[in-house]
Chain A
Amino acid sequence: MRIPCPFCGERDVSEFAYHGDTAKRPDPATDDGQRRFFEAVYLRDNPAGPHRELWYHAQGCRSWLIVTRDVRTHEVLGAALATRGAA
Protein backbone atom coordinates (compact mmCIF):
# COMPACT_ATOMS: atom_id res chain seq x y z
CA MET A 1 0.00 0.00 0.00
CA ARG A 2 1.43 3.39 -1.02
CA ILE A 3 0.01 6.78 -0.07
CA PRO A 4 0.38 9.77 -2.44
CA CYS A 5 1.53 12.48 -0.02
CA PRO A 6 0.80 15.94 -1.49
CA PHE A 7 4.30 17.09 -0.49
CA CYS A 8 6.50 13.97 -0.73
CA GLY A 9 4.89 12.05 -3.57
CA GLU A 10 3.89 8.39 -3.42
CA ARG A 11 5.46 6.84 -0.32
CA ASP A 12 5.28 3.42 1.32
CA VAL A 13 2.63 2.94 4.03
CA SER A 14 5.34 2.08 6.59
CA GLU A 15 6.26 5.80 6.72
CA PHE A 16 2.78 6.69 7.97
CA ALA A 17 0.89 6.30 11.26
CA TYR A 18 -2.85 5.61 11.20
CA HIS A 19 -5.39 7.49 13.28
CA GLY A 20 -8.76 6.17 12.18
CA ASP A 21 -11.71 7.85 10.52
CA THR A 22 -12.22 11.58 10.16
CA ALA A 23 -14.98 12.04 12.73
CA LYS A 24 -15.20 15.66 13.87
CA ARG A 25 -14.87 16.69 17.49
CA PRO A 26 -18.36 17.68 18.64
CA ASP A 27 -19.20 20.95 20.34
CA PRO A 28 -19.11 20.28 24.11
CA ALA A 29 -21.34 23.29 24.85
CA THR A 30 -24.52 21.81 23.39
CA ASP A 31 -27.22 20.23 25.55
CA ASP A 32 -26.54 16.72 24.27
CA GLY A 33 -22.75 17.19 24.20
CA GLN A 34 -22.11 14.10 26.31
CA ARG A 35 -24.03 11.82 23.94
CA ARG A 36 -22.36 13.37 20.91
CA PHE A 37 -18.92 12.91 22.45
CA PHE A 38 -19.71 9.26 23.20
CA GLU A 39 -20.73 8.75 19.58
CA ALA A 40 -17.65 10.53 18.22
CA VAL A 41 -15.19 8.71 20.48
CA TYR A 42 -16.65 5.19 20.53
CA LEU A 43 -18.99 4.53 17.60
CA ARG A 44 -17.83 3.91 14.04
CA ASP A 45 -19.51 3.69 10.64
CA ASN A 46 -16.88 1.05 9.74
CA PRO A 47 -18.01 0.92 6.08
CA ALA A 48 -16.95 -1.82 3.66
CA GLY A 49 -15.99 0.50 0.82
CA PRO A 50 -14.42 3.96 0.44
CA HIS A 51 -13.25 5.23 3.84
CA ARG A 52 -12.04 8.74 4.73
CA GLU A 53 -9.28 8.41 7.31
CA LEU A 54 -6.41 10.30 8.94
CA TRP A 55 -2.79 9.32 8.32
CA TYR A 56 0.26 11.10 9.79
CA HIS A 57 3.39 11.17 7.62
CA ALA A 58 5.65 10.50 10.63
CA GLN A 59 8.74 9.43 8.64
CA GLY A 60 8.32 12.18 6.06
CA CYS A 61 6.96 15.71 6.08
CA ARG A 62 5.02 15.18 9.34
CA SER A 63 1.77 16.37 7.78
CA TRP A 64 -1.63 15.03 8.74
CA LEU A 65 -3.40 13.76 5.65
CA ILE A 66 -6.96 12.81 4.85
CA VAL A 67 -6.73 9.68 2.75
CA THR A 68 -9.69 8.14 0.92
CA ARG A 69 -9.14 4.40 0.62
CA ASP A 70 -11.32 1.48 -0.42
CA VAL A 71 -10.96 -0.82 2.59
CA ARG A 72 -12.16 -3.85 0.58
CA THR A 73 -9.15 -3.68 -1.77
CA HIS A 74 -6.70 -1.29 -0.02
CA GLU A 75 -6.81 0.89 -3.16
CA VAL A 76 -5.93 4.48 -2.25
CA LEU A 77 -8.35 6.80 -4.04
CA GLY A 78 -6.81 10.11 -2.98
CA ALA A 79 -4.91 12.03 -0.33
CA ALA A 80 -5.09 15.66 0.73
CA LEU A 81 -3.69 17.83 3.49
CA ALA A 82 -5.92 17.79 6.58
CA THR A 83 -6.85 21.43 7.13
CA ARG A 84 -9.49 23.08 9.27
CA GLY A 85 -12.85 22.31 7.72
CA ALA A 86 -11.49 19.60 5.39
CA ALA A 87 -12.80 16.70 7.45
Chain B
Amino acid sequence: MRYSLFSLARQALRGHRDWQPVWRDAAPQASYDIIIVGGGGHGLATAYYLAKEHGIRKIAVLEKGWIGSGNAGRNTTIIRSNYLLPGNEPFYEWSMKLWEGLEQDLNYNTMVSQRGVLNLYHSDAQRDAFARRGNAMRLAGADAELLDADAVRRMLPFLDFDNARFPIKGGLLQRRGGTARHDAVVWGYARGASARGVDIIQNCEVTGFVRDGDRITGVTTTRGTIQAGKVGLAVAGSSSRVAEYAGLRLPIESHVLQAFVSEAIKPLIPGVVTFGAGHFYISQSDKGGLVFGGDIDGYNSYAQRGNLPTVEDVCEGGMALMPAIGRVRMLRSWGGLVDMSMDGSPIIDRTPLQGLYLNAGWCYGGFKATPGSGWCFAHLLARDEPHPVASAYRLDRFATGHLIDEKGQGAQPNLH
Protein backbone atom coordinates (compact mmCIF):
# COMPACT_ATOMS: atom_id res chain seq x y z
CA MET B 1 0.00 0.00 0.00
CA ARG B 2 1.33 3.41 -0.96
CA TYR B 3 1.19 5.99 1.82
CA SER B 4 -0.43 9.33 1.02
CA LEU B 5 -2.85 11.78 2.55
CA PHE B 6 -5.56 10.01 0.56
CA SER B 7 -4.71 6.53 1.90
CA LEU B 8 -4.50 7.89 5.45
CA ALA B 9 -7.91 9.57 5.16
CA ARG B 10 -9.46 6.43 3.66
CA GLN B 11 -8.08 4.26 6.48
CA ALA B 12 -9.23 6.78 9.08
CA LEU B 13 -12.77 6.64 7.74
CA ARG B 14 -12.69 2.80 7.85
CA GLY B 15 -11.49 2.77 11.46
CA HIS B 16 -7.88 1.83 10.61
CA ARG B 17 -8.87 -1.84 10.14
CA ASP B 18 -7.11 -2.49 6.85
CA TRP B 19 -3.48 -1.57 7.51
CA GLN B 20 -1.21 -4.40 6.41
CA PRO B 21 2.21 -5.43 7.78
CA VAL B 22 4.70 -3.23 5.92
CA TRP B 23 7.04 -6.09 5.03
CA ARG B 24 6.85 -9.83 4.56
CA ASP B 25 8.46 -12.22 7.09
CA ALA B 26 9.85 -14.81 4.67
CA ALA B 27 11.02 -18.42 5.06
CA PRO B 28 14.37 -19.35 3.48
CA GLN B 29 14.44 -20.79 -0.04
CA ALA B 30 17.09 -23.22 -1.26
CA SER B 31 19.17 -20.67 -3.15
CA TYR B 32 19.52 -16.98 -3.93
CA ASP B 33 21.55 -14.83 -6.31
CA ILE B 34 22.77 -12.68 -3.41
CA ILE B 35 22.54 -13.23 0.33
CA ILE B 36 23.06 -10.30 2.69
CA VAL B 37 24.01 -11.38 6.21
CA GLY B 38 22.71 -8.88 8.75
CA GLY B 39 19.25 -7.32 8.90
CA GLY B 40 20.24 -3.93 10.22
CA GLY B 41 20.03 -0.62 8.41
CA HIS B 42 23.07 -1.30 6.21
CA GLY B 43 22.00 -4.82 5.20
CA LEU B 44 18.42 -3.83 4.39
CA ALA B 45 19.54 -0.71 2.51
CA THR B 46 21.92 -2.90 0.49
CA ALA B 47 19.11 -5.31 -0.39
CA TYR B 48 16.80 -2.41 -1.30
CA TYR B 49 19.30 -0.77 -3.67
CA LEU B 50 20.30 -4.16 -5.17
CA ALA B 51 16.66 -4.73 -6.12
CA LYS B 52 15.83 -1.16 -7.08
CA GLU B 53 19.00 0.14 -8.76
CA HIS B 54 20.50 -3.07 -10.10
CA GLY B 55 17.41 -5.16 -10.86
CA ILE B 56 18.61 -8.26 -9.01
CA ARG B 57 15.65 -10.54 -8.37
CA LYS B 58 16.56 -13.27 -5.89
CA ILE B 59 17.92 -11.60 -2.77
CA ALA B 60 17.72 -12.68 0.87
CA VAL B 61 18.56 -10.76 4.05
CA LEU B 62 19.44 -13.12 6.92
CA GLU B 63 19.06 -11.74 10.44
CA LYS B 64 19.91 -13.75 13.56
CA GLY B 65 17.38 -11.89 15.75
CA TRP B 66 14.79 -9.45 14.49
CA ILE B 67 15.56 -6.70 12.01
CA GLY B 68 16.96 -3.53 13.52
CA SER B 69 17.71 -5.21 16.86
CA GLY B 70 21.43 -4.41 16.83
CA ASN B 71 23.13 -1.09 16.35
CA ALA B 72 20.35 0.23 14.10
CA GLY B 73 18.21 0.47 17.22
CA ARG B 74 20.96 1.60 19.61
CA ASN B 75 22.53 4.66 17.99
CA THR B 76 21.91 8.36 18.67
CA THR B 77 20.32 8.95 15.22
CA ILE B 78 22.64 11.72 14.03
CA ILE B 79 23.14 12.32 10.32
CA ARG B 80 25.95 14.55 9.03
CA SER B 81 28.73 14.75 6.44
CA ASN B 82 31.41 16.79 8.22
CA TYR B 83 34.56 14.80 7.49
CA LEU B 84 37.96 16.08 6.40
CA LEU B 85 39.75 13.45 4.33
CA PRO B 86 39.20 12.87 0.59
CA GLY B 87 38.53 9.15 1.13
CA ASN B 88 35.67 9.93 3.52
CA GLU B 89 33.96 13.21 2.72
CA PRO B 90 32.56 12.42 -0.78
CA PHE B 91 31.09 9.18 0.58
CA TYR B 92 29.39 10.80 3.56
CA GLU B 93 28.12 13.68 1.41
CA TRP B 94 26.59 11.16 -1.00
CA SER B 95 24.94 9.50 1.99
CA MET B 96 23.68 12.91 3.13
CA LYS B 97 22.14 13.53 -0.29
CA LEU B 98 20.40 10.15 -0.11
CA TRP B 99 19.03 11.08 3.34
CA GLU B 100 17.59 14.25 1.83
CA GLY B 101 15.54 12.28 -0.70
CA LEU B 102 14.98 9.15 1.38
CA GLU B 103 11.38 9.67 2.46
CA GLN B 104 10.19 10.39 -1.08
CA ASP B 105 12.22 7.45 -2.43
CA LEU B 106 10.91 4.99 0.18
CA ASN B 107 7.44 6.53 0.50
CA TYR B 108 8.00 6.13 4.24
CA ASN B 109 8.38 8.70 7.01
CA THR B 110 11.92 8.27 8.31
CA MET B 111 11.61 11.62 10.13
CA VAL B 112 14.74 13.11 8.58
CA SER B 113 15.11 16.43 10.37
CA GLN B 114 17.85 18.76 9.13
CA ARG B 115 18.10 20.67 12.36
CA GLY B 116 21.84 21.33 12.07
CA VAL B 117 25.00 19.82 13.59
CA LEU B 118 27.26 22.25 15.47
CA ASN B 119 30.82 21.27 16.50
CA LEU B 120 32.08 23.75 19.10
CA TYR B 121 35.70 24.95 19.22
CA HIS B 122 37.49 26.24 22.29
CA SER B 123 40.88 27.53 21.11
CA ASP B 124 42.51 29.33 18.19
CA ALA B 125 44.17 26.13 17.02
CA GLN B 126 40.88 24.24 17.06
CA ARG B 127 39.21 27.09 15.12
CA ASP B 128 41.88 26.80 12.44
CA ALA B 129 41.42 23.03 12.24
CA PHE B 130 37.64 23.46 11.95
CA ALA B 131 38.04 26.13 9.25
CA ARG B 132 40.15 23.66 7.30
CA ARG B 133 37.58 20.90 7.76
CA GLY B 134 34.78 23.25 6.69
CA ASN B 135 36.68 24.13 3.54
CA ALA B 136 37.27 20.45 2.78
CA MET B 137 33.55 19.81 3.22
CA ARG B 138 32.64 22.63 0.83
CA LEU B 139 35.12 21.37 -1.75
CA ALA B 140 33.25 18.04 -1.67
CA GLY B 141 29.90 19.78 -2.19
CA ALA B 142 28.73 19.79 1.44
CA ASP B 143 27.73 22.86 3.43
CA ALA B 144 29.72 24.32 6.32
CA GLU B 145 29.69 27.61 8.19
CA LEU B 146 32.27 28.77 10.69
CA LEU B 147 30.50 30.63 13.51
CA ASP B 148 32.07 32.96 16.07
CA ALA B 149 31.09 32.98 19.74
CA ASP B 150 28.38 35.62 19.28
CA ALA B 151 26.65 33.59 16.56
CA VAL B 152 26.74 30.48 18.77
CA ARG B 153 25.43 32.53 21.72
CA ARG B 154 22.41 33.57 19.67
CA MET B 155 21.66 29.92 18.85
CA LEU B 156 22.42 28.34 22.23
CA PRO B 157 22.44 31.00 24.97
CA PHE B 158 22.50 28.43 27.78
CA LEU B 159 26.00 27.06 27.05
CA ASP B 160 28.86 27.76 29.49
CA PHE B 161 30.65 30.25 27.20
CA ASP B 162 33.02 31.69 29.79
CA ASN B 163 34.18 28.40 31.24
CA ALA B 164 37.64 29.14 32.69
CA ARG B 165 39.24 26.02 31.25
CA PHE B 166 37.39 25.54 27.94
CA PRO B 167 35.73 28.81 26.86
CA ILE B 168 33.51 28.48 23.78
CA LYS B 169 35.05 30.48 20.93
CA GLY B 170 32.63 29.43 18.18
CA GLY B 171 31.65 26.42 16.14
CA LEU B 172 31.54 24.71 12.76
CA LEU B 173 27.91 24.36 11.69
CA GLN B 174 26.50 22.00 9.08
CA ARG B 175 22.90 23.14 8.67
CA ARG B 176 21.98 20.17 6.47
CA GLY B 177 22.97 17.74 9.21
CA GLY B 178 20.51 16.65 11.87
CA THR B 179 18.72 13.53 13.00
CA ALA B 180 16.46 10.77 11.63
CA ARG B 181 14.23 8.16 13.22
CA HIS B 182 16.47 5.08 13.41
CA ASP B 183 13.77 2.38 13.61
CA ALA B 184 11.79 3.97 10.79
CA VAL B 185 14.89 3.81 8.59
CA VAL B 186 15.06 0.04 9.18
CA TRP B 187 11.34 -0.44 8.59
CA GLY B 188 11.30 1.82 5.54
CA TYR B 189 14.14 -0.04 3.84
CA ALA B 190 12.59 -3.39 4.82
CA ARG B 191 9.27 -2.33 3.30
CA GLY B 192 10.91 -1.10 0.11
CA ALA B 193 13.03 -4.23 -0.24
CA SER B 194 10.18 -6.61 0.56
CA ALA B 195 7.92 -4.92 -2.01
CA ARG B 196 10.62 -5.62 -4.63
CA GLY B 197 10.73 -9.33 -3.78
CA VAL B 198 13.57 -9.45 -1.24
CA ASP B 199 13.16 -12.25 1.32
CA ILE B 200 13.71 -10.89 4.84
CA ILE B 201 14.44 -13.93 7.00
CA GLN B 202 14.56 -13.42 10.78
CA ASN B 203 15.78 -15.72 13.56
CA CYS B 204 18.21 -17.16 11.04
CA GLU B 205 21.77 -17.07 12.36
CA VAL B 206 24.63 -17.81 9.99
CA THR B 207 26.80 -20.58 11.46
CA GLY B 208 29.26 -21.12 8.61
CA PHE B 209 29.97 -20.88 4.91
CA VAL B 210 29.69 -23.40 2.11
CA ARG B 211 32.98 -23.42 0.21
CA ASP B 212 34.13 -24.71 -3.12
CA GLY B 213 37.89 -24.22 -2.91
CA ASP B 214 38.45 -20.48 -2.55
CA ARG B 215 34.87 -19.71 -3.55
CA ILE B 216 31.98 -19.13 -1.16
CA THR B 217 28.84 -20.74 -2.58
CA GLY B 218 26.42 -20.45 0.30
CA VAL B 219 25.87 -20.26 4.03
CA THR B 220 24.87 -22.71 6.72
CA THR B 221 22.32 -21.29 9.12
CA THR B 222 20.17 -22.28 12.06
CA ARG B 223 17.39 -22.68 9.47
CA GLY B 224 19.34 -24.89 7.08
CA THR B 225 21.88 -24.52 4.29
CA ILE B 226 21.22 -21.84 1.67
CA GLN B 227 23.10 -21.61 -1.64
CA ALA B 228 24.12 -18.22 -2.97
CA GLY B 229 25.88 -16.73 -5.96
CA LYS B 230 27.36 -14.05 -3.73
CA VAL B 231 27.34 -13.39 0.00
CA GLY B 232 27.66 -9.91 1.52
CA LEU B 233 28.42 -9.39 5.21
CA ALA B 234 26.85 -6.36 6.92
CA VAL B 235 27.17 -7.44 10.55
CA ALA B 236 29.13 -4.60 12.15
CA GLY B 237 29.82 -5.37 15.81
CA SER B 238 30.19 -9.07 15.00
CA SER B 239 32.19 -8.84 11.76
CA SER B 240 35.19 -10.71 13.18
CA ARG B 241 33.02 -13.57 14.42
CA VAL B 242 31.27 -14.12 11.09
CA ALA B 243 34.44 -13.60 9.03
CA GLU B 244 36.18 -16.20 11.19
CA TYR B 245 33.78 -18.82 9.78
CA ALA B 246 35.49 -18.12 6.45
CA GLY B 247 38.96 -18.20 8.00
CA LEU B 248 39.49 -14.43 7.71
CA ARG B 249 41.20 -12.25 10.34
CA LEU B 250 40.01 -8.66 10.09
CA PRO B 251 41.62 -5.32 11.07
CA ILE B 252 38.80 -4.85 13.59
CA GLU B 253 38.23 -4.91 17.35
CA SER B 254 34.73 -5.04 18.84
CA HIS B 255 34.13 -2.36 21.46
CA VAL B 256 31.13 -1.12 23.43
CA LEU B 257 29.69 2.35 22.90
CA GLN B 258 27.16 3.67 25.40
CA ALA B 259 24.30 6.08 24.76
CA PHE B 260 21.94 7.85 27.11
CA VAL B 261 18.53 9.50 27.18
CA SER B 262 17.08 11.80 29.81
CA GLU B 263 13.51 12.33 30.91
CA ALA B 264 11.47 14.39 28.45
CA ILE B 265 11.66 18.14 28.84
CA LYS B 266 10.27 21.05 26.84
CA PRO B 267 12.20 22.03 23.67
CA LEU B 268 15.66 23.23 24.70
CA ILE B 269 18.28 22.15 22.18
CA PRO B 270 17.43 23.02 18.57
CA GLY B 271 19.98 20.82 16.79
CA VAL B 272 22.92 18.53 17.49
CA VAL B 273 25.71 20.07 19.61
CA THR B 274 29.13 18.58 20.22
CA PHE B 275 31.69 19.60 22.86
CA GLY B 276 35.13 20.22 21.36
CA ALA B 277 37.18 19.91 24.52
CA GLY B 278 35.97 16.46 25.56
CA HIS B 279 33.88 13.90 23.79
CA PHE B 280 30.22 14.71 24.33
CA TYR B 281 27.37 15.20 21.88
CA ILE B 282 23.71 15.89 22.51
CA SER B 283 20.44 16.43 20.71
CA GLN B 284 16.80 16.44 21.74
CA SER B 285 14.37 13.88 20.42
CA ASP B 286 10.90 14.78 19.21
CA LYS B 287 9.53 13.22 22.41
CA GLY B 288 11.62 15.70 24.42
CA GLY B 289 14.32 13.43 25.84
CA LEU B 290 17.91 14.60 25.63
CA VAL B 291 19.83 11.98 23.65
CA PHE B 292 23.57 12.06 24.31
CA GLY B 293 26.79 10.10 24.29
CA GLY B 294 30.56 10.32 24.29
CA ASP B 295 33.58 8.05 24.07
CA ILE B 296 33.57 4.30 23.69
CA ASP B 297 34.47 2.47 26.90
CA GLY B 298 37.86 1.69 25.39
CA TYR B 299 38.35 -2.06 25.83
CA ASN B 300 37.33 -5.08 23.76
CA SER B 301 33.74 -6.06 24.49
CA TYR B 302 30.88 -8.15 23.15
CA ALA B 303 28.68 -7.43 26.18
CA GLN B 304 26.31 -4.75 24.76
CA ARG B 305 26.64 -2.87 28.04
CA GLY B 306 29.31 -0.61 29.45
CA ASN B 307 30.77 0.42 32.78
CA LEU B 308 30.14 3.32 35.12
CA PRO B 309 33.41 5.28 34.70
CA THR B 310 32.38 6.04 31.10
CA VAL B 311 28.92 7.11 32.25
CA GLU B 312 30.57 9.53 34.67
CA ASP B 313 32.96 10.81 32.00
CA VAL B 314 30.15 11.49 29.52
CA CYS B 315 28.07 13.29 32.13
CA GLU B 316 31.07 15.41 33.18
CA GLY B 317 31.47 16.46 29.56
CA GLY B 318 27.81 17.44 29.47
CA MET B 319 28.08 19.42 32.69
CA ALA B 320 31.15 21.28 31.41
CA LEU B 321 29.27 22.26 28.27
CA MET B 322 25.76 23.02 29.55
CA PRO B 323 25.48 23.02 33.35
CA ALA B 324 21.69 23.44 33.10
CA ILE B 325 21.23 19.76 32.24
CA GLY B 326 22.49 18.82 35.71
CA ARG B 327 18.91 19.17 36.94
CA VAL B 328 17.57 16.71 34.37
CA ARG B 329 17.33 13.05 35.37
CA MET B 330 18.84 10.36 33.19
CA LEU B 331 16.20 7.90 32.11
CA ARG B 332 18.08 5.10 30.40
CA SER B 333 21.50 4.10 29.17
CA TRP B 334 22.46 1.23 26.90
CA GLY B 335 25.40 -0.12 24.94
CA GLY B 336 26.00 -1.30 21.40
CA LEU B 337 28.83 -3.30 19.84
CA VAL B 338 30.89 -1.34 17.38
CA ASP B 339 33.43 -2.55 14.84
CA MET B 340 36.46 -0.39 15.63
CA SER B 341 38.75 -0.50 12.61
CA MET B 342 42.47 0.23 12.74
CA ASP B 343 42.19 3.71 11.19
CA GLY B 344 38.68 4.71 12.28
CA SER B 345 37.24 4.32 8.76
CA PRO B 346 35.00 1.61 7.32
CA ILE B 347 35.60 -1.22 4.85
CA ILE B 348 33.40 -1.88 1.78
CA ASP B 349 35.31 -4.33 -0.35
CA ARG B 350 35.77 -7.78 -1.79
CA THR B 351 37.55 -10.36 0.37
CA PRO B 352 40.31 -12.83 -0.60
CA LEU B 353 37.51 -15.40 -1.06
CA GLN B 354 35.54 -15.27 -4.29
CA GLY B 355 31.86 -14.60 -3.78
CA LEU B 356 32.34 -13.10 -0.30
CA TYR B 357 32.02 -9.34 0.20
CA LEU B 358 32.57 -7.28 3.32
CA ASN B 359 30.85 -4.20 4.71
CA ALA B 360 32.35 -3.55 8.16
CA GLY B 361 34.41 -1.32 10.42
CA TRP B 362 31.88 1.49 10.91
CA CYS B 363 33.31 2.41 14.32
CA TYR B 364 30.75 4.58 16.14
CA GLY B 365 29.51 6.34 12.98
CA GLY B 366 27.48 3.79 11.06
CA PHE B 367 23.99 5.27 11.31
CA LYS B 368 24.61 8.38 9.21
CA ALA B 369 26.22 6.15 6.58
CA THR B 370 23.22 3.81 6.24
CA PRO B 371 21.94 4.99 2.81
CA GLY B 372 25.41 5.54 1.34
CA SER B 373 26.70 2.23 2.68
CA GLY B 374 23.74 0.35 1.21
CA TRP B 375 24.09 2.18 -2.10
CA CYS B 376 27.84 1.49 -2.43
CA PHE B 377 27.73 -2.10 -1.12
CA ALA B 378 24.92 -2.88 -3.60
CA HIS B 379 27.04 -1.37 -6.38
CA LEU B 380 30.00 -3.55 -5.38
CA LEU B 381 27.91 -6.72 -5.11
CA ALA B 382 26.08 -6.17 -8.39
CA ARG B 383 28.96 -4.99 -10.56
CA ASP B 384 32.02 -6.45 -8.82
CA GLU B 385 33.68 -3.05 -8.80
CA PRO B 386 33.75 -0.43 -6.04
CA HIS B 387 31.51 2.63 -6.22
CA PRO B 388 33.67 5.73 -6.92
CA VAL B 389 32.84 7.43 -3.59
CA ALA B 390 33.66 4.27 -1.60
CA SER B 391 36.74 3.21 -3.53
CA ALA B 392 39.09 4.15 -0.67
CA TYR B 393 37.39 1.75 1.76
CA ARG B 394 39.63 -1.14 0.75
CA LEU B 395 40.33 -4.10 2.97
CA ASP B 396 43.99 -4.16 1.90
CA ARG B 397 44.68 -0.49 2.71
CA PHE B 398 46.28 -1.44 6.03
CA ALA B 399 48.85 -3.55 4.21
CA THR B 400 49.52 -0.98 1.49
CA GLY B 401 49.61 2.06 3.80
CA HIS B 402 46.62 3.90 2.30
CA LEU B 403 44.97 4.51 5.66
CA ILE B 404 42.08 6.96 6.14
CA ASP B 405 42.91 8.09 9.66
CA GLU B 406 40.72 11.14 10.46
CA LYS B 407 42.04 11.40 13.99
CA GLY B 408 45.63 10.36 13.31
CA GLN B 409 45.68 7.84 16.18
CA GLY B 410 47.20 4.90 14.34
CA ALA B 411 46.27 1.27 14.91
CA GLN B 412 44.93 1.88 18.43
CA PRO B 413 41.17 1.39 17.97
CA ASN B 414 40.16 2.47 21.48
CA LEU B 415 41.49 5.96 20.72
CA HIS B 416 39.62 6.55 17.44
Q: By the criterion CB–CB under 8 Å, are B411 and A42 in contact?
A: yes
Q: By the criterion CB–CB under 8 Å, are B249 and A45 in contact?
A: yes
Q: By the criterion CB–CB under 8 Å, are A72 and B302 in contact?
A: yes
A–B complex contacts, Cβ < 8 Å, 20 sampled: A20-B253, A21-B300, A39-B249, A41-B342, A42-B342, A44-B240, A44-B250, A44-B252, A45-B249, A46-B240, A46-B252, A48-B241, A48-B254, A53-B299, A53-B300, A69-B299, A71-B254, A71-B299, A71-B302, A73-B303
Q: By the criterion CB–CB under 8 Å, are B412 and A42 in contact?
A: no
Q: By the criterion CB–CB under 8 Å, are A72 and B303 in contact?
A: yes
Q: By the criterion CB–CB under 8 Å, are A43 and B251 in contact?
A: yes
Q: How many residues of A contact B (CB 8 A)?
A: 25
From B250, B412, B414, contact of A46 by CB (8 A)? B250
Across-interface contacts of A69 in B (CB, < 8 A): 299
B309 at the interface (CB under 8 A from A): yes
Across-interface contacts of A42 in B (CB, < 8 A): 251, 342, 398-399, 411
| Smallest beta-carbon distance A5→chain B, Å | 16
Q: By the criterion CB–CB under 8 Å, are B302 and A44 in contact?
A: no
B298 at the interface (CB under 8 A from A): yes
Binding site for A on B (CB under 8 A): 238, 240-241, 249-254, 298-303, 307, 309, 342, 398-399, 411-414
User: Measured between alpha carbons, how far is A18 from B251 in the docked complex, in Å?
Assistant: 18
Q: Which secondary structure dominates where chain B touches chain A?
A: mixed
Across-interface contacts of A45 in B (CB, < 8 A): 240, 249
Q: By the criterion CB–CB under 8 Å, are B302 and A48 in contact?
A: yes
List residues 1-57 of chain A with CB under 8 A from any CB of chain B. Answer: 1, 12-14, 18-21, 38-39, 41-48, 51, 53
| A to B contact number (C-beta, < 8 Å) | 66
A74 at the interface (CB under 8 A from B): yes
From A14, A18, A41, A46, residue with most partner B Cβ within 10 Å = A46
Q: Please give me the residue from chain A that is nearest to B412 by CB atom.
A: A20
Across-interface contacts of B413 in A (CB, < 8 A): 20
User: Measured between alpha carbons, how far is A75 from B413 in the docked complex, in Å?
Assistant: 21
Across-interface contacts of A18 in B (CB, < 8 A): 298-299, 414
Across-interface contacts of A43 in B (CB, < 8 A): 249-251
Across-interface contacts of A44 in B (CB, < 8 A): 240, 249-253
| Smallest beta-carbon distance B397→chain A, Å | 10
**A-B pairs, 10 with minimum CB distance:** A46-B240, A14-B309, A42-B398, A48-B302, A43-B249, A42-B251, A18-B299, A71-B300, A72-B302, A42-B342
Across-interface contacts of B299 in A (CB, < 8 A): 13, 18, 53, 69, 71
Across-interface contacts of A51 in B (CB, < 8 A): 300
Known: A38-B398, A74-B301. A1 touches B414 (CB 8 A): no
User: Measured between alpha carbons, how far is A38 from B401 in the docked complex, in Å?
Assistant: 10
Across-interface contacts of A46 in B (CB, < 8 A): 240-241, 250, 252-254, 300
